[in-house]
């Protein structure tokens, strides 16, 4: 693990926040080493007889992993080189293209430290999914449900990590009617590529339950779902033609330029193809 500190933005910080959240620190799980993260790190260091500097180096990493009791049981679930090679062959793509897209568009890892697939619950999608099932959402809006059921998109209720499962299950249990659980699971994005659950039928899954079951297996299944999504939305053609800007626009939305996704794809492809 790299040494990280206040202001760092990286996958290691995401993992750090996840570990700290697992240990009870009330943190948003993200890739940003925030002042709140530094405060939690200092508290952890003080509680475990470490030098209190707010910097996470080898000693703090070691103690964190020991206390969190993380052997990362999901190592056997991680994406392999063979997965990427099979994907390239199946979709008739250069391996360098596949590796570039995987690097830029994946979430770094598809599983939490407890072995569950990474998710992000979207309350505005939950509203839409309930509405599709002829359920009057207004009947369920109150102070207790405001973090899981709302009409317009917002990030303010995100918790990240295992906290997203708390939100998911809260939504699923909003009513004993099985349609609520189905709508809730359709309202989360799943796995390494964060495919929304409501895509499951159009991608060929028999139900949202089958889709979720596959997401629990391994990152290879996440990659398969990603490929199905790309095929369904006619994006494989853009990759074959190395039309990076159009692909980034279609996959990431209008904000792709701000985040320079097309530039990142070009650089990653150049590196892998060489």
Q: Is residue 58 in a domain?
A: yes
Quick one: which of 129, 214, 213, 227 has its CA closest to 172?
129
Give the pLDDT confidence score for residue 69 in this predicted structure: 78
Q: Is residue 37 in a domain?
A: yes
Q: Is residue 46 in a domain?
A: yes
Give the pLDDT confidence score for residue 41 in this predicted structure: 97
DSSP assignments along 256-274, one per residue = GTTTTHHHHHHHHHHHHH-
Give the pLDDT confidence score for residue 21 in this predicted structure: 93
User: Which residues are paired to 4 by β-bridges?
Assistant: 56
Q: Is residue 59 in a domain?
A: yes
Quick one: which of 39, 40, 37 has its CA closest to 8?
37
Q: Is residue 60 in a domain?
A: yes
Give the pLDDT confidence score for residue 70 in this predicted structure: 66
Give the pLDDT confidence score for residue 75 in this predicted structure: 56
Give the pLDDT confidence score for residue 108 in this predicted structure: 74
SS3 195: strand
Q: The domain containing residue 27 runs over which residues? A: 11-70
Each residue of 148-190: pLDDT tens digit?
A: 999 999 999 999 999 999 999 999 999 999 999 999 999 999 9
User: How many domains does one find in the chain?
Assistant: 1
CA distance 51 to 45: 6
Helices first, then strands: H and E counts in the chain? 13, 3
Query: Is the pLDDT confidence value at 73 over 70?
Result: no
CA distance 198 to 212: 11
For 245, 253, 255, the CA distances from 259, given in Å and listed in that order, are: 12, 10, 7
Question: pLDDT tier at 62 (50, 70, 90 boundaries)?
Answer: confident
CA distance 131 to 244: 36
Each residue of 95-125: pLDDT tens digit?
A: 999 999 999 998 777 888 788 999 999 999 9
> Which CATH number fits the domain that encloses residue 44?
1.10.101.10
CA angle 173, 180, 204 (to 5 degrees): 125
For residue 62, how many other CB atoms are within 10 A of its CB? 12
pTM of the model: 0.79
Least confident of 21-30, 76-85, 245-254, 262-271: 76-85
CA distance 67 to 196: 33
Quick one: which of 19, 120, 109, 97 has its CA closest to 64?
19
Each residue of 145-154: pLDDT tens digit?
A: 999 999 999 9
Q: What percent of the chain has pLDDT over 90?
A: 82
Q: Is residue 223 in a domain?
A: no
φ/ψ of residue 116, rounded to 5: -85, 150
CA distance 156 to 273: 40
Taking residues 247-255, report their average pLDDT.
93
Q: Is residue 166 in a domain?
A: no
Question: In the structure encoding, which two tokens stand for residue 46, read together?
Answer: 């003080």
């Amino acid at each position: 693990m790299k040494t990280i500190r206040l202001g760092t933005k990286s996958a290691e910080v995401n993992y750090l926040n996840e570990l700290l959240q697992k240990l009870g620190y009330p943190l948003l799980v993200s890739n940003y080493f925030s002042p709140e993260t530094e405060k939690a790190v200092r508290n952890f260091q003080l509680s475990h007889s470490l030098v209190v500097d707010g910097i996470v180096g080898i000693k703090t990493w070691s103690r964190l992993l020991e206390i969190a009791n993380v052997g990362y049981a999901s190592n056997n679930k991680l994406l392999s080189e063979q997965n990427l090679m099979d994907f390239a062959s199946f979709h008739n793509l250069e391996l360098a293209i596949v590796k570039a897209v995987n690097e830029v568009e994946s979430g770094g890892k598809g599983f939490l430290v407890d072995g569950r697939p990474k998710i992000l619950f979207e309350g505005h999608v939950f509203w839409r999914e309930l509405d599709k099932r002829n359920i009057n959402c207004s009947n369920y809006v109150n102070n207790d449900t405001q973090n899981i059921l709302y009409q317009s998109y917002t990030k303010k209720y995100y918790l990240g990590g295992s906290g997203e499962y708390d939100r998911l299950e809260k939504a699923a249990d909003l009513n004993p009617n099985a349609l609520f659980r189905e709508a809730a699971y359709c309202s989360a994005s799943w796995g390494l590529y964060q495919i929304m659950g409501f895509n499951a039928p159009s991608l060929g899954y028999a139900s949202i339950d089958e889709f979720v079951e596959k997401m629990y297996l391994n990152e290879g299944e996440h990659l398969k779902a990603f490929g199905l999504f790309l095929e369904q939305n006619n994006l494989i053609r853009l990759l074959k033609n190395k039309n990076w800007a159009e692909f980034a626009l279609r996959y990431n939305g209008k904000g792709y330029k701000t985040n320079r996704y097309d530039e990142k794809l070009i650089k990653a492809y150049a590196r892998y193809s060489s």
